[in-house]
Amino acid sequence: MDSVPRMTSTDMKPPASDRELRDQMVSRLIEMGALRSSGAVAAFRKVPRHLATPQTDITKTYGVEDAVITKTDADGIQLSSVSAPRIQAMQIEQADLHPGQRVLEIGSGGVNAAYLAEIVGPGGTVVSMDIDRDVTARAERFLKETGYDRRVKLVTADGEDGAAADGPYDRIIVTVQAADIPPTWIDQLVDGGRLVVPLRMRGMTRTIAFVRDGERLVSDGFELCGFVPMQGAGENRVRLLLLHDVPGEEVGLRLDGHPEPNQGALREALHMPSVEAWSGVTLAGDESNEHLDLFLTTVLENLPLLTGTAAARSRGLIASASPLGVPTLVRGGSFAYRTVRRTQDPDRFELGAIGHGPEGAELAEALVVQMQSWDRDFRDDRARIDVYPAGTPDEKLPEGGRVIDRPHTRVIISWP
């Protein structure tokens, strides 16, 4: 019988300490470009984020892409989370924080507030607020355990109203998905101050760094992201319209202020033979399509997002399965959505569209035309996003942009 080698003490590697895991996390975030400033790097090395989620495996807590869900509702909808380190780093770098600044965080959790307190230092002010008492109680325990309770003020209230008593603020960082920007956030921000907010525009969410310029906000960079939705007065969730509702194989459209579609006709169209159109435009394997998608939603009128499960794709119902959704042009009982296919170059993928329904071919071609326009005229450009108060006359808005009207604001997406 073969003998089984014994493990010796030199063969066994002890589990990494929380300090080692933090250092590994920081190194990875620097490599990714998510952490750049010295103050943010020092904060991420110091704060013991694992103490905020003691029931979660510590290696997951320090995984750069791992968010930890801390509360869901009765339907399983995520209400609160500790965001992934990469997302927190991204927003903090967008905020361009400096020692001595006054910062309001809307959407609490404790960890991010501790990072903010480290960066602004003892001469700064950090106010962290959340509508949910369970969330602020959990943040309170973490901040007390880690010694940041003396440097962070916690407020349990609706973030829609801000926290005027401690304002105005140099920076406001919103860590929940918002569909609108209430006037209080602008009023409580100093002129020239920065508001970082995951703003949902026609179904797609991006964390945007805005700079206040009088009564308007002007974007200074944005990143694709995902956040739990805002609760309270500012709650405005995306609605899912199912086109195929077999359990495990669901296909649907995410509607965000889009015209009400003909559900019955679109359900029939999904099961009709599909047609394809290809653009000749290619992306590298590691190249994001987020700027293309924002361009498409700017230039096309009715573009909700098609979402589906992996099983729906395996069955051939759809060619693209994305939990966030892919831009889909809808007209009557037809639709077409963005897709890709491999090219002879293993690192390049061609953009195209797949159409369903009587006008599926026409809609697919319309998408392809705009993909070619983006590639020809806008591929190297980035959109500008401006926010004006609701009621601002059209003639005072930037020309040629896509206007998204919300109760409090008019959001304009424009391209050079």
CA 42 to chain centre: 25
Q: Per this entry, what is the length of the chain?
A: 416
Please answer whether residues 328 and 337 qualify as being in contact, where contact means their C-beta atoms are separated by less than 8 angstroms. Answer: yes
Residue type, 170: D
CA distance 172 to 104: 5
Q: Which residues fall within 8 angstroms of residue 395, CB to CB, at 6 or more apart?
A: none
Catalytic (active site) residue 219? no
Region at 376 (left for phi over 0; alpha for psi -120 to 50; beta for the rest): alpha
Report phi then psi at 199, rounded to 5. -100, 125
CA distances (Å), 388 to each of 47, 72, 140, 190, 399, in order? 37, 34, 36, 16, 13
| Residue tagged active-site, from 80, 81, 83, 274 | 83
- Supply the DSSP string of 361-372, one letter for each residue: HHHHHHHHHHHH
Angle at 390 (CA atoms; ends 385, 394), nearest 5 degrees: 70
Residue keyed to tokens 């435009």: 281
Residue type, 103: V
**Active-site residue numbers?**
83
